[in-house]
Copies of this chain bind each other. A is one copy, B any other.
Amino acid sequence: MGNFQDFAGKSVLITGGMGFIGSNLARSLADLGARATVVDSLIPEYGGNLFNLKGYESRIHINIADIRDEFSMAYLVQGQDYLFNLAGQTSHLDSMKNPFVDLDINCRSQLFILEACRKHNPAIRIVYASTRQIYGRPDFLPVHEGHLLHPTDVNGINKMAGEWYHILYSNVYGIQTCALRLTNTYGPRMRVKDARQTFLGIWIRNLTQGKPIEVWGDGLQVRDFNYVDDVTDAMLTAALSEQSNGQIYNLGSPERVNLKDLAALMIKVHGKGEYGVVPFPDDRKPIDIGDYYADYSKIRAALNWNPRLSLEEGLSRTLQYYYQFIHEYL
């Protein structure tokens, strides 16, 4: 990995910076001595939460703005050394209910941000948060970056386009961009109010409130999970690497687990609780993707990135966080 001390004194913009991953990243960057600015719209249904930057208000510049606000974005990208571009609409169901909102946020705004960088700050380095969702239902496992993209929802299609705008602006204009295809990410500061961000959020909420966990489908769907600190490490590493320019990397984990076993592990870590297996809700079934886990050997080889936390340890830290702060997330 790169030397994260290189961020000291650097100007860094983080879109979606009050959300789950963005806020963890912003806090790390502030700790590293970066001048971090977060942009977040605090749309109630999305992941932004003022509490996520609690204690960092004096060290992180908080700029409330929607990335669809083009004039503000054109100003905010100027003078930045790095852009961690994490803002997005992430709910699969919301993307089907209102595809045009998803299009505006995940396509138009991304294109606008890249155009603004091209015009006003072409030396910026950009890391884009892409998603495994764009692969759709895997043709083979583990899924490497050479796997076809056949997304199963509007969100997946728009994120696919958003990712490719970033790669294009590297290939054609020489803007230094890198896209990370995140798998299921969990940890402190994730949204637990509902399943919009990840089903793990609602599992954690139910567990801490003494309610049973609902496992959808047959519970045998295999997934991989990254603890949020491992994901922010990947982003920081990608930002510092010359080699990452114009590249797409999967994130992933050596631990792969089916949802029933994950529920059982979470209950074990929590010390009590129960889960039930229930059929897919009707609106989820057509966009379910079956098993998924990533081949992340490309980023391991290129950037020497490896997830460091075991799933059990990550879940333990996550639960500890929500034991203390769950009321800030309801």
Does A107 reach chain B (CB closer than 8 Å)?
A: yes
Copy tally for this chain in the complex stands at 2
Q: Is the CB of B164 within 8 A of A160?
A: yes
Query: In the docked arrangement, what's the CA distance between A153 and B112, Å?
Result: 15
A153 cross-chain contacts in B, Cβ below 8 A:
168, 172
Q: From B99, B146, B160, B287, give the contact of A111 (CB < 8 A).
A: B99
Query: In the docked arrangement, what's the CA distance between A175 and B19, Å?
Result: 36
- DSSP class of A's interface residues: helix, strand, loop or mixed? helix
* 143-168 of chain A: CB within 8 A of chain B: 146, 148-154, 157-158, 160-161, 164-165, 167-168
Known: A160-B161, A161-B161. A172 touches B100 (CB 8 A): no
Known: A157-B164, A168-B154. A103 touches B111 (CB 8 A): yes
Q: Is the CB of A168 within 8 A of B152?
A: yes
Does A171 reach chain B (CB closer than 8 Å)?
A: yes
Known: A103-B111, A111-B103. A157 touches B168 (CB 8 A): yes
Query: In the docked arrangement, what's the CA distance between A187 and B165, Å?
Result: 33
Known: A148-B148, A152-B168, A286-B171. A161 touches B107 (CB 8 A): yes
CB distance from A309 to the nearest CB of B (A): 32
Known: A96-B172, A171-B286. A154 touches B148 (CB 8 A): no
Q: Is the CB of A108 within 8 A of B103?
A: yes
Query: In the docked arrangement, what's the CA distance between A286 and B96, Å?
Result: 35
Does A115 reach chain B (CB closer than 8 Å)?
A: yes
A157 cross-chain contacts in B, Cβ below 8 A:
161, 164-165, 168
Query: In the docked arrangement, what's the CA distance between A286 and B167, Å?
Result: 13
Q: Is the CB of A100 within 8 A of B107?
A: no
Q: From B99, B151, B158, B165, give the contact of A154 (CB < 8 A).
A: B165
Q: Output the nearest chain B residue to A157 by Cβ-Cβ distance.
A: B164
CB distance from A285 to the nearest CB of B (A): 10
Q: Output the nearest chain B residue to A134 by Cβ-Cβ distance.
A: B164
A115 cross-chain contacts in B, Cβ below 8 A:
99
- Most chain B CB neighbours (cut-off 10 Å) among A96, A111, A148, A161: A161
Q: Output the nearest chain B residue to A139 by Cβ-Cβ distance.
A: B146
CB distance from A327 to the nearest CB of B (A): 37
Chain A 95-131 per-residue mask, 1 if CB under 8 angstroms from chain B, else 0 = 0100110010001100110010000000000000000
Q: Output the nearest chain B residue to A146 by Cβ-Cβ distance.
A: B148
Q: Is the CB of B151 within 8 A of A168?
A: yes
A158 cross-chain contacts in B, Cβ below 8 A:
161
Chain A contact residues, CB within 8 Å of chain B:
96, 99-100, 103, 107-108, 111-112, 115, 146, 148-154, 157-158, 160-161, 164-165, 167-168, 171-172, 286-287
A-B contact pairs, 16 of them (CB 8 A): A99-B115, A100-B108, A103-B107, A103-B111, A107-B107, A111-B154, A149-B149, A151-B168, A152-B171, A153-B168, A154-B165, A157-B168, A158-B161, A160-B160, A160-B161, A161-B161
